[in-house]
Amino acid sequence: MNEYLKNLNKIEFAVTMACTGRCKHCQNGDQAGSAEHIDAETAVDAIRKVCAHYPIGTLMTFGGEPLLYPETVFAIHKTAKELGIGTRQVITNGYFTKNEERAGAVARELAESGVNDLLLSVDAFHQETIPLEPVLRFAGYAVKSGIPIRLQPAWLVSAEDDNPYNIRTREILRAFAPLRIPVGEGNVIFPSGNALKYLREYFTDAEEFSPYEEDPKDIRSLSFAPNGDVLNGNAYRADILEIIRDYRP
């Protein structure tokens, strides 16, 4: 359809930039707390159209904190499951409500929606502003609901480095041991957004850098922003297949 997207195999939605955390390492910079979020109907329509033309193997929802808008996340993942997308991921900090019943209900519905890779961001940075207790509770509900879940810590310098942040992260991970949740490899913080502002001393290269940047001539992941922006267009104003057709790097 468009040679610059011939290897497209992933769709991702930044559901919202609103967040319950204020992390020092956040790549999005200071979160403005905007309530803007992707429209579920537009997202579902785009997934259906893209899947009709491309072999999408992975769909990811993240934020901000995507579970501030759980109904949207459910709708997106139900569609992904229905269309046979194999990997259906949510990245969450696990803290989106103070209401225990609500947290349990969201975990159950995530399982029913077909989420099969729940990545829980827990580490020294998240837990500076996000209380651990409700996150532990949500993790327990997720385990009980049968959702495959992994802890996804952010490491500073490397997972092996013994800086004070990593030492605290290891303590936090130990708090999850009774739940027997596997620890994923996590990610090493890169110099971008808040990380560049607050953790500069830990980076040898102070140039802004992101390992997640796409090659504009070989787009493999179609990324939707909360305001509908995708590639060089906007999913609220144009059909996603036209946006793909008209894309130029």
Residue 97, classified by CB atoms within 10 Å of its CB into exposed (0-12), middle (13-18) or buried (19+), is: middle
Among 28, 42, 97, 221, binds ligand SF4 (CB under 6 A): 28
- Point out which span in 18-26, 34-42, 82-90, 143-151 binds ligand SF4 (CB under 6 A): 18-26
Select 12 or 65, whichever has its Cβ closest to ligand SF4: 65
Site for ligand SF4 in 57-96 (CB under 6 A): 63-65, 93
- Point out which span in 26-34, 104-112, 177-185, 208-216 binds ligand SF4 (CB under 6 A): 26-34
Residue 167, classified by CB atoms within 10 Å of its CB into exposed (0-12), middle (13-18) or buried (19+), is: exposed
User: Which residue spans within 15-125 are E strands per DSSP?
Assistant: 58-62, 87-92, 117-120
Shortest separation between residue 6's beta carbon and ligand SF4, angstroms:
31
- Does position 26 interact with ligand SF4 (CB under 6 A)? The reply is yes
Select 20 or 79, whichever has its Cβ closest to ligand SF4: 20
Q: Are 12 and 222 in contact (CB under 8 A)?
A: yes
Q: How far apart are CA 176 and CA 243, in angstroms?
A: 43
In 37-58, which positions are buried (b, 16+ CB within 10 angstroms) versus exposed (e)?
A: bbebeebbebbeebbeebebeb
- Does position 126 interact with ligand SF4 (CB under 6 A)? The reply is yes
Select 4 or 198, whichever has its Cβ closest to ligand SF4: 198
SS (H, E, C) 165-216: HHHHHHHHHHHCHHHCCCECCCEECCCCHHHHHHCHHHCCCCCCCCCCCCEC
Shortest separation between residue 30's beta carbon and ligand SF4, angstroms:
9
- Does position 31 interact with ligand SF4 (CB under 6 A)? The reply is yes
Site for ligand SF4 in 102-121 (CB under 6 A): 121
Select 79 or 166, whichever has its Cβ closest to ligand SF4: 166
Report the interface residues with ligand SF4, using CB under 6 A: 19, 21-23, 26, 28, 31, 63-65, 93, 121, 126
